[in-house]
Amino acid sequence: MFEEPYRWMEAVSNRHSYVQEKLQMGQPVLSVPFNEGVLMMGFAPQPGKIFEIYDRIALGGVGHPADVERLRMTLLEMAHLEGFNRSPEDVTLARLLQFGVAPALKQNFEEIQRAPYIIRLLLIELDSEGSPNFFRVNYDGYWETFKKGTVISGTEKVMDWIQKEIETIPFATFTLEKALEETCRLWVESKKEEGDANTNIPETLKEAFDQWHLEGAILLGNLERRAIYRTITKEEIKKLKSSAG
């Protein structure tokens, strides 16, 4: 079918365009450090963007819900198998991505006859010393690492803008409350970078709280605790909502 190289390259280029178009409506998921651990948050019309994967690992997803769930289950199974065969300390995102998810995504994307994943992933982990690591995974298997926090979104323009802002803000010194306020501010201000306005997407923080769900999770840096992962509480959301007016 693709006997000539340029036809295969053209087909891959078309797949990039197709997936990027489908992802455009995906709303940002941000993850940043704070003084007691790591925060991941995002607004969405319905919950289902943020999950726990393993003891020190969490995932955020943008894209088709079925694809997010499929890759969540893949990571979950790989992490528990790795922990069983080796030890929980050997379960790291670098291994899960390098030897599992990234090659599978790349192979799927380059097999033209198969439907591509419509997805971007944000993964965070606390290492053995309690320091955070941030990973961004693209639909074609390409992944990057970050130290100060990162973001995924439906458009690269929004991702680039929020990423630059994250790099300039000292999130690691903030309390959880302050980190939530700042990530919400970035979420709202990123609406200006989306280009054409969409009436179905909230443009202010008050509208986001009224119309959508704030979904968030925390990995606590105190590794002596039994429960490292927890979701943002209703009380924390209520306090944040009241400050938004």
pLDDT tens readout for residues 94-108: 999 998 999 999 999
pLDDT of residue 150: 98
104 assigned to some structural domain: yes
- Determine what percent of the chain is predicted with pLDDT higher than 90: 70
pTM score: 0.91
Q: What is the DSSP string of 133-165?
A: EEEEE-TTS-EEEESS-EEE-SSHHHHHHHHHH
Domain harbouring 137, CATH code = 3.60.20.10
pLDDT of residue 167: 96
Q: Among the listed ranges 100-104, 106-110, 132-136, 239-243, which one has the minimum average pLDDT value? A: 239-243
221 assigned to some structural domain: yes
pLDDT at 139 over 90: yes
**Nearest one of 94, 55, 90, 61 to 76, comparing CA atoms:** 55
Question: How confident is the model over 19-36, as a mean pLDDT?
Answer: 95
138 assigned to some structural domain: yes
**What total of structural domains would you count in the chain?**
1
pLDDT tens readout for residues 177-234: 999 999 999 999 998 877 654 557 888 898 999 999 999 999 998 756 665 899 999 9
CB atoms within 10 A of CB 7: 12
191 assigned to some structural domain: no
pLDDT of residue 191: 85
**Nearest one of 58, 63, 140 to 103, comparing CA atoms:** 140
Mean of the per-residue pLDDT values of the chain: 90
Containing structural domain, residue 97: 38-175+213-232
158 assigned to some structural domain: yes
33 assigned to some structural domain: no
Is there a contact between 159 and 153 (Cβ–Cβ < 8 Å)?
yes
Is there a contact between 158 and 42 (Cβ–Cβ < 8 Å)?
no
pLDDT at 43 over 80: yes
109 assigned to some structural domain: yes
58 assigned to some structural domain: yes
**pLDDT confidence bin for 146, thresholds 50/70/90:** very high
Long-range contacts of residues 144-148, Cβ cutoff 8 Å, at least 24 apart:
148/32, 148/33, 148/172
pLDDT of residue 54: 92
